[in-house]
Amino acid sequence: MSAIVAGFFEIGQSIAIIAMMLLSVVLGFYNEYKAEKIIDDLRQSVSLKAVVTRDNKTNEIDSRLLVPGDLVSVYVGDIIPADTRVLECKDLEVNEGTLTGESFPVEKKCDTINLDHPIPQDLTNCLFMGTVVVHGSGRGLVVSTGRRTEFGAVSHSLARARPETEFQRGVRKYGNMLITLTLVLVIAIFVLNALVGRRIIDSLLFSLAVAVGLVPELMPAIVTISLSHAAREMAKKKVIVKRQVSIEDFGNMDVLCTDKTGTLTSGKIALKSHLTFGDDAQLLEYSLLCNSAVVGEKVTGNPMDSAIWEYAIENNLQHIIDSYTSIDEVPFDYQRRMMSKIVQRNGQNRLITKGAPESVIPKCDYVSVSRSNGSDSEGETIDHFRRVLEKELIENSKAGYRTLAVAYRTIESKQGYSVEDEKSLTLLGFLVFTDPPKNDARLALDRLRALGVDVKILTGDNELVAAKICEDLSLESTKTFRGSDLTAMSSHELREAAKSATIFARITPEQKLDIIKALKADKHVVGFMGDGVNDAPALFEADVGISVESATDVSKDAADIVLLDKDLVVLADGIEEGRKIFGNTTKYILMGTSSNFGNMFSAAAASLFLPFLPMLPMQILFMNLFYDVANMTLPTDSVDTEVTQLPRRWDINFVRNFTLFFGPFSSLYDFLTYGIMLFIFQAPAALFQSGWFVESFWTEVLVIFVIRTRRIPFVTSRPGKWLTILTLSCVAVGTIVPFTRLGAFLGFTALPVHYWLLLVLMVATYLLLVDAGKVFFYRVCKF
């Protein structure tokens, strides 16, 4: 390229052109790289963790630090961190869809497999990196990590394509529109200039320079800087953005679907009371035995199980289970909504089951009832108690309490236990938990409402508990649907239901996904907030998936945004940040497609009737470079409050109308400058080019102060400090350049004093006319 240019231009000019093009590219690349690095650093803070045993010590470490030879433990919801040989397992089932495409879970065992050339599907004694534990638990030896794993080897072909975000769709459409415009204009300029007798190489370079002037090459950098700036601001508020492109959709989101626990409620579940017809002490004893909480210096794990332990510790009852020996476990899963533990005391085995009352009660044949001598009976059939039990459950739910049922049965000793053994149980009683609404939840909902975001609750809990929370938080519940109601609905009915209802109770993970899809099909930008393994599909499908630091690996992995505090108030802050970015990105686009486009268009038109080029290719590139520098601080610009008040969407028709309307303003004043230079100053080529360079640069750069707001510039809407400083500095440099040696090198010459006086008047009229045009435009074009 440089050789060709050098053949037609002086060496110095060729170097200058290439240097300016390179500088433009480096400017964009450096800023984009810096912004990407910030995002990467933030992303590291929510990396996946693995429970590893080294030197007989068990710790939680960053999964990227695993090495072959480590012992790792995996539980429901975990993403397998490395390829692992299973050594111990309990009802372990893994979804290997990311690796094999198979949607059904695969059961894993410890057995040895003797096959000559096994494929991953054959290796039921191995766990593969990137797959997800959907049931049970296990422990295994890491055999390979990173790229040496099965997943690493084929990750490129297996990577799931995320649905294109609303923002990405908008940028793509905008890019297509611009490419079409540029191509048409550049070809037309080249052909027409050649036809009027200009040298082919001059025509080619001029048309290419106009193309460079038209293309908003800084757009990727502006978007990336904006996103990283917002990501940093959000990180200060403990919101980590994993996929930066989602920030814009975060701002445009108009429906937020959320689970209930820990988002609307405090998530600090406490054991409030219990109900039993039998022995109170036994109920607590069995609840501690059938429990998945991890008890160390602190109690961690499932919040309801933790609450039982905290109650026991508080009342110094933690030792009541010391005389029992744990035999086996049937782990919790979201289909059964219960777990079981097999324990032994005095040579007798008991299976204890704890879970959602709706799941446990159908497995019960009896109810434990205290007798006067203190012993309990398994002889009272549950049918006599069914009404009382249902009434109790409804009352608890209406009061917003969550309830767990505990049941048991004596069971024979055998090799292994499974879900088949959860039958003919004796109901021991209910545990009643409180999970009060967060103090700031009402404030958060008010803010979301004010921002035009409709909140919907998607919960596995029953509708009464969800309704009570809505009532407590003044969240107006329009309609409620149960999962069973949705099952029979057609896709049209589901779309209507998704649009009209506030509460969806007792729904399955698949139904959450269906509701998200229905809302998206109805042209909503949908956010979903969840933390369980069952939330992962919905998190993946939503335009913005939001999870929390304490969530399961699979849901954190599927999320775009992770909240370090499970707090709705920061969501509102994040939405405002997203809207600010959208506002600032839109400013750049509107700038690029109006004044910039107008300038290049008038350059092209003038080249047809002028005896010389209106601006040399090198001068166009120089102007373009400084225009880019002036725009560099646009992402930090302040945004008017009305821009953040309501969700907005990309509207390519609006951009087109804006270009059609504001582009000619710039052309009009360019032609006026031509007239002044030609007919008042009788300007030769260098003077003409200098005059138009300064006018073009002033109008192109200063118009940002008018276009950036719908209000009165500087009076009712002040631009950002750095934008003002940099823009005015660039204008100053552009003004001085024609008087310098650099100016002479670029082909400029000093301008007469009279011209400056006319220029000031002309630019002032231009800016006022654009402002008046803005008033007219926004009256007839809504955005």
Partner 1 sequence: MTLYSSTMIWWMVSISWSAIFLIVVSFYLYWKGPRPQSESSQGIIGKAKDFIFVWILTSLLVLYIYTINYSSAVIFAAGNIIVEVILVVYTVRNRAKKT
Give one word for 306, left, alpha or beta, with left for phi > 0 and alpha for psi -120 to 50.
alpha
Q: Which residue has the tokens 């406490």?
A: 270
Instruction: Give the x/- contact pattern for partner 1 in 607-646, rule: CB under 8 A.
Output: -xxxx-----------------------------------
CB 98 within 8 A of CB 131: yes
The helix (run of H) or strand (run of E) holding residue 13 is helix 11-44
The helix (run of H) or strand (run of E) holding residue 733 is helix 721-736
Choose among 33, 13, 15: nearest CA to 25: 33
**How far is Cα 483 from Cα 67, in angstroms, rounded to an integer?**
44
Is residue 758 within the footprint of partner 1 (CB under 8 A)?
yes
- Shortest distance, position 161 Cβ to partner 1, whole Å: 37
Among residues 91, 259, 553, 560, the one annotated as catalytic is 259
CB 490 within 8 A of CB 564: no
Which of 277, 334, 661, 722 is close enough to bind partner 1 by CB under 8 A?
A: 661
CB 90 within 8 A of CB 329: yes
Is residue 660 within the footprint of partner 1 (CB under 8 A)?
yes
Looking at the Cβ atoms of 332 and 674, the one nearer to partner 1 is: 674
For residue 329, count other CB atoms closer than 10 A to its CB.
18
For residue 125, count other CB atoms closer than 10 A to its CB.
17
- Shortest distance, position 675 Cβ to partner 1, whole Å: 4
- Shortest distance, position 711 Cβ to partner 1, whole Å: 8
In 378-462, alpha helices (H): 386-398, 441-450
Is residue 606 within the footprint of partner 1 (CB under 8 A)?
yes
Is residue 776 within the footprint of partner 1 (CB under 8 A)?
yes
Does residue 376 have an active-site annotation? no
**How far is Cα 6 from Cα 745, in angstroms, rounded to an integer?**
16
Looking at the Cβ atoms of 27 and 668, the one nearer to partner 1 is: 668
Looking at the Cβ atoms of 504 and 674, the one nearer to partner 1 is: 674
Is residue 775 within the footprint of partner 1 (CB under 8 A)?
yes
**How far is Cα 198 from Cα 209, in angstroms, rounded to an integer?**
16
Which of 665, 692, 697, 698 is close enough to bind partner 1 by CB under 8 A?
A: 665
Looking at the Cβ atoms of 516 and 770, the one nearer to partner 1 is: 770
Stretch that binds partner 1, among 387-395, 423-431, 620-628, 666-674 (CB under 8 A): 666-674
Is residue 752 within the footprint of partner 1 (CB under 8 A)?
no
Looking at the Cβ atoms of 119 and 753, the one nearer to partner 1 is: 753
CB 741 within 8 A of CB 625: no
Of 672-731, which residues contact partner 1 (CB under 8 A)? 672, 674-676, 678-680, 682, 711-712
**How far is Cα 297 from Cα 346, in angstroms, rounded to an integer?**
30
Is residue 188 within the footprint of partner 1 (CB under 8 A)?
no
CB 411 within 8 A of CB 342: yes
Paired strand residues for 381: 366
Is residue 597 within the footprint of partner 1 (CB under 8 A)?
no
Is residue 735 within the footprint of partner 1 (CB under 8 A)?
no
Three-class secondary structure assignment of 66-88: CCCCCEEEECCCCECCCEEEEEE
- The residue count for binding partner 1 (CB under 8 A) is 44
**How far is Cα 717 from Cα 19, in angstroms, rounded to an integer?**
38
- Shortest distance, position 707 Cβ to partner 1, whole Å: 14
Looking at the Cβ atoms of 739 and 777, the one nearer to partner 1 is: 777
CB 518 within 8 A of CB 494: yes
- Shortest distance, position 771 Cβ to partner 1, whole Å: 5
- Shortest distance, position 687 Cβ to partner 1, whole Å: 12
* Interface residues toward partner 1, by CB under 8 A: 602, 605-606, 608-611, 657, 660-661, 664-665, 667-668, 671-672, 674-676, 678-680, 682, 711-712, 754, 757-758, 761-762, 764-765, 768-769, 771-773, 775-777, 779-782
Active site positions, annotated: 259
